[in-house]
Structure 1
């Protein structure tokens, strides 16, 4: 082979063995004859250093009484700790626990990339399952600890989803799901009330902030008999219409008593209940509400969140989604089972999760200031998990003083505060101006 035609590619096992056989023919009693290395390098297009290395390996094998045999070392990346799929463990998972790679990885105690690799290798198969028929204002923004603000809101919780995805073993049957109508899946509206939790100096929970979650349901006797129950059996049904009277009853007889029962003795009794601007909500001067709210040493006031500002409510900002994620992992077939699933999911959420959402709220309020009351921003990510592991979560996020002063000046302009609609007093007080 001409000089300069040497290749830097990896040698195969057969080519290495040809080199060793060539050297053995040009050796006497384990000693290479003069010029054998150079001749082998030119013959096979490799470097003299490579020839010496293979000859050294071959002599070591022969000294151990083994035949000289070369094997290629480059075999590709091999996982020495590659995990095998435990099919029995997969079969014991419910279909709701297989609805995402994240859930499966958590239940199987492996990484998400491992589950993804099993899917690529065909050990798991994805299956999509379809059910079958049988703008913001800034005048009220206050950056404070928020420990005396109770957030309330309503949300529909459905018995199942129209379409879901599960990960099955290749030999497993596809799950069968059915309901009377996929256009009218059974659902129940809940009213949830939370406030910011309180932690001690060593991180222990002094107050979890969860005041309660209350369904809008009623217990009525069955009008007709069926194969499942006789006529007259008491059944739990969703309330047909949630109007102002229903909302007032929930506030007066459920939410306010829950606040009084769970509120810490050492905390301020001056409390604000923040609700959105839905039509069925009562106003802040409702006589029946005021009679209950301003008793037993409490002074509870109703306030409304800013219009077109869903990110200013803790429940819409992420807490409802966390409850729903857990709720969808639990199967149910009746309204009572749905209520139990929502209750248990609500209780499973830790106070630390609730506290993180309050920090997200403060980050959104900062964005509202930056965009001068606009809601055309993206919810910021502040790496709360990393902060909790390293420095610890702050009680309140820092806000640039210049930003606050610029916003105060912006609100004082006549074109931005026509008729004195914006009260900048709370905003000034919140930052010590």
Structure 2
């Protein structure tokens, strides 16, 4: 519990006098308001008031602490902490043992922010050509007309990000909150490494809004499951022999990728794309997986040009998941929503994934596109490097205040320095 010196206690008494006057009895609400503003306990404020009234004046209020009393604070030796090998300070117990301190003391220094806890993320290793490709990618997303005075990113309204994601029927471990009378749900499967799964192909664009902030296009092109319908070869307790059932595709190769892009992605783009940008060039960005079709694939080019459309396929930089909004945050959000629905069968996996996509707010999708610009800004700043903290822009606060930007700016000095690379 905090110990207050004489000046602190007299300051609290002055607050009481200012709000209550010289009355012997405290008015309703004064005690709570002073305790809240002084950030102390109600009983502490009561004792100070009673002490002053009993003694007759403010001079009667004195601290009962005598000189320097109580347990002496054990200071943190920063140099000793930094001398501990990183692999030997992954837990509070390890840190406390090396510093010869109690775990409680180390935790207190953590709360005081003398120590900070981090999560060290394992990122893809990059070669020099990879870094150059990342810089060129980020610079290519800047408005050419803004490079001279105030470099600003493009709105990215004509880009669609494409990628695959595997969804498992359930997690190996699932957190839940139960009452003291409930039993924990009994979850079981034949083998933890053979949980039912389906791979999905996702395509997302940036949402669009009118001058009044109303959404005119939510950016959700679609998600498609890599599955097929097959007849059951044997009878089981759940269905008869010969019953048609959903089965995941045994493999997703280049032919399968081409089939889904041509038969599902392109028709969805042409159906949902805003009419006012009907004659603009549309770019589909994919990663560099070997199973993906090439940018100049003739079948894709033929189908994409049907109806007078100008749809082109481009690749993102190698080893760069931070250059794709799906890997950057969208997949994690959808997966979190999906697992809350707890599907039990393969058809339910498809259904619950689609429900999660339909329920996903377009505001969040727009925010992820803004995070994509923030990551490209860090790529320029770090000359293609991947070891940078994910930037926090307080986007939700800006959105509530109606100040959320559409495009971010980059310091001109960083752009000029990156050109040297």
TM-score higher than 0.5? yes
State the structure with bigger RCO (CA 8 A, min sep 6), 1 or 2.
2
CA distance in 1, matches of 2:363, 2:311: 25
1:50 aligns with 2:54: yes
CA contact (8 A) 1:222 1:232 kept: yes
1:230-379 pair list within 5 angstroms: 230-267=240-277, 268-379=279-390
What's the counterpart of residue 95 of structure 1? none
CA RMSD of aligned residues (A): 1.7
Structure 1 Cα separation of the partners of residues 384 and 163 of structure 2: 22
Deviation at 1:391, TM superposition (A): 3.9
Partner in structure 2 of residue 185 of structure 1: 195
Contact 1:269 1:297 in 2 (8 A): no
2:184 is matched with 174
Question: Which residue in 2 is equivalent to 1:140?
Answer: 137
Counterpart CA distance in 1 for 2:52 and 2:287 is 81
Report the CA distance between 1:247 and its aligned residue: 0.3
How much has 1:389 moved relative to structure 2? 1.0
The equivalent position to 2:227 in structure 1, one of 214, 217, 221, is 217
1:226 matched to 2:230: no
TM-score by length of 1: 0.64
The Cα of 1:402 is off from its aligned counterpart by 2.1
1:353-400 CA distances to partner (integer Å, 9 max, x unpaired)? 110000000000000001101111121111100000114211101111
Q: Which has the larger radius of gyration?
A: 1
Q: Distance in 2 between matches of 1:340 and 1:264?
A: 27
Offset at residue 201 of structure 1 (A):
1.1
CA spacing shift, 1:50–1:349, aligned 2, 3 Å: same
Alpha carbons of 1:335 and 1:402: their partners in 2 closer, same or farther (altered >3 Å)?
same
**Structure 1 unaligned blocks of 5 or more:** 1-8, 10-45, 54-134, 412-433
Structure 2 CA distance, aligned partners of 1:359 and 1:176?
A: 42
> How far, CA to CA, are the matches of 1:253 and 1:338 in structure 2?
22
Residues 116-145 of structure 1, C-alpha deviation per residue, up to 9 Å, x if partnerless? xxxxxxxxxxxxxxxxxxx34211221211
The match for 2:166 is: 156
Shift of 1:47: 7.1
Aligned partners of 1:315, 1:189: CA distance in 2, in Å?
14
Structure 2 unmatched runs, 5+ = 1-8, 10-49, 58-125, 142-152
| CA apart distance, 1:287 | 0.9
Q: Is the helix fraction higher in 1 or 2?
A: 2
How far the C-alpha of 1:52 sits from its partner, in A, is 6.6
TM-score (norm 2): 0.66
Q: Deviating runs (4+, > 6 A) in structure 1?
A: none
